[in-house]
């Protein structure tokens, strides 16, 4: 593979579609964004995905060797199907087939769940370069995760591995969009921040959030930074759930590193990373926690990881 070859990456987010065109060295040659607007239906979203890919393809000055797509939900990378993408309202979408048909060329399309795809990007071009065993948390509107084990994406028997956003840490807890109660995502994500603020609002009538019309994750984040009592209650709850999931991942996967990314993840990384690092020794044995690093993601676009699916996929053909 030479530097002359290019790859397109697509990240399907709950609110936006991110596209990048990269070369083998990881340089971003072009970027594009479109709204996801999942309420318009899957057909409209797929049309925008195809339009975004075509926009970057038109700007490429060297051959594009593939497209990588990272999607929320349960992604079957073999059949190219996305299932149960709750935030998109997708039950089962044959994404590869649909995108392929509309692109009208023979570009190979590689798919993965967004957590695994972004983790791969971190290994190729980010903070985890040279690290073959690590766990990635994408903290954004929702909670995504991925793990690299011995340099490979961990996807499991049915590609559901690391679907920890919907791990019901407290089965009697807050109702989640997936139908379960007490999912990690309902505490440690933008959705979780908002749900927490709404749940405790009546206990904190003096909170700055009490006068906010439609509370967003950023409102809660700003209130946390301002030391608002309600927001700090939401924060403590999020951090406790993250301590639990870090300990679970540490003992099951024995990673050398935890990487925190995602929009909200970047915003809270400075506050969160020292807390996670200092707490893990209380929840796991020294053999598990010694030497574990906690780092903020260095990848600047959520679509770079999906683009790396192309390099990774082609290298295994």
> Which stretches of the chain bind Zn ion, using CB under 5 A?
166, 176, 178, 180, 183
| Least separation in angstroms between CB 38 and Zn ion | 17
Question: What is the number of alpha carbons within 13 Å of residue 285 lying toward its C-beta?
Answer: 4
Please report how close the Cβ of residue 237 comes to Zn ion at its closest, in angstroms: 16
- For Zn ion, the closer of residues 96 and 166 by Cβ is 166
Helix (H, G, I), strand (E, B) or coil at 245: helix
Q: How far is the CB of 122 from Zn ion (least distance, A)?
A: 25
Cβ-based burial of 1 (10 A; exposed 0-12, middle 13-18, buried ≥19): exposed
- Which residue is it, tokens 């060295």? 25
**Sequence-ordered list of residues with C-beta below 8 angstroms from that of 63, at least 6 positions apart, any chain:** 4, 5, 6
Could you tell me the smallest distance in angstroms from the CB atom of residue 284 to Zn ion? 25
Which residue from 160, 161, 224, 227 is spatially nearest to 192, judged by alpha carbons? Answer: 224
Q: Which one, 187 or 294, has the nearer CB to Zn ion?
A: 187
Question: Whose Cβ is closer to Zn ion: residue 89's or residue 151's?
Answer: 89
Query: CB of residue 175 vs Zn ion: minimum separation in angstroms?
Result: 9
> Measured from the CB atom, is 108 or 182 closer to Zn ion?
182
Q: How far is the CB of 207 from Zn ion (least distance, A)?
A: 26
Q: Which is nearer to Zn ion, 180 or 212 (CB)?
A: 180
Give the span between the Cα atoms of 121 and 129, in whole angstroms. 9
**Dihedral sign from CA coordinates of 264, 267, 271, 276:** positive
Q: Long-range contacts made by residues 76-83, C-beta under 8 angstroms, separation at least 24?
A: 76/111, 76/158, 76/159, 77/110, 77/111, 77/112, 77/155, 77/159, 80/109, 80/111, 82/111
Which lies closer to Zn ion via its Cβ, residue 26 or residue 173?
173
What stretches of 33-112 show up as alpha helix (H) in DSSP?
Answer: 42-59, 95-103
Residue nearer to Zn ion on the CB measure, 176 or 242 = 176
Which tokens sit at 243? 């301590």
Distances in whole angstroms, Cα of residue 51 to Cα of each of 34, 46, 62 = 9, 9, 19
CB of 114 to Zn ion, least distance (A): 16
């Amino acid at each position: 593979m030479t530097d002359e070859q290019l790859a397109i990456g697509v990240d399907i987010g709950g609110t936006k579609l991110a596209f990048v065109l990269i070369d083998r060295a990881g340089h971003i040659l072009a970027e594009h964004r479109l709204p996801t607007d999942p309420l318009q239906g899957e057909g409209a979203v797929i049309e925008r995905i195809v339009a975004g890919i075509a926009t970057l393809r038109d700007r490429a000055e060297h051959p594009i060797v593939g497209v990588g797509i990272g999607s929320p939900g349960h992604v079957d990378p073999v059949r190219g199907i996305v299932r149960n993408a709750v935030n998109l309202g997708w039950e089962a979408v044959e994404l590869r087939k649909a995108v392929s048909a509309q692109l009208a060329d023979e570009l190979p399309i590689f798919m993965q769940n967004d957590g695994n795809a972004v983790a791969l990007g971190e290994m190729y071009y980010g903070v985890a370069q040279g690290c073959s065993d690590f766990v990635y948390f994408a903290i954004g509107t929702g909670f995504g995760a991925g793990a690299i084990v011995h340099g490979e994406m961990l996807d499991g028997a049915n590609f559901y591995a690391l679907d920890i956003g919907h791990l019901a840490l407290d089965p009697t807890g807050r109702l989640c969009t997936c139908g379960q109660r007490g999912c990690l995502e309902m505490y440690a994500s933008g959705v979780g921040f908002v749900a927490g603020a709404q749940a405790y609002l009546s206990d904190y009538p003096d909170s700055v959030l009490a006068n906010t019309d439609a509370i967003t994750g950023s409102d809660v984040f700003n209130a946390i930074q301002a030391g608002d009592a309600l927001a700090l209650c939401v924060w403590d709850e999020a951090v406790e759930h993250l301590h639990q999931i870090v300990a679970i991942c540490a003992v099951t996967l024995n990673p050398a590193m935890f990487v925190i990314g995602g929009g909200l993840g970047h915003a809270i990384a400075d506050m969160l990373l020292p807390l996670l690092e200092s707490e893990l020794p209380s929840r796991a044995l020294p053999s598990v926690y010694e030497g574990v690093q906690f780092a903020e993601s260095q990848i600047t676009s959520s679509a770079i990881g999906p683009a790396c699916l192309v390099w990774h996929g082609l290298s295994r053909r």
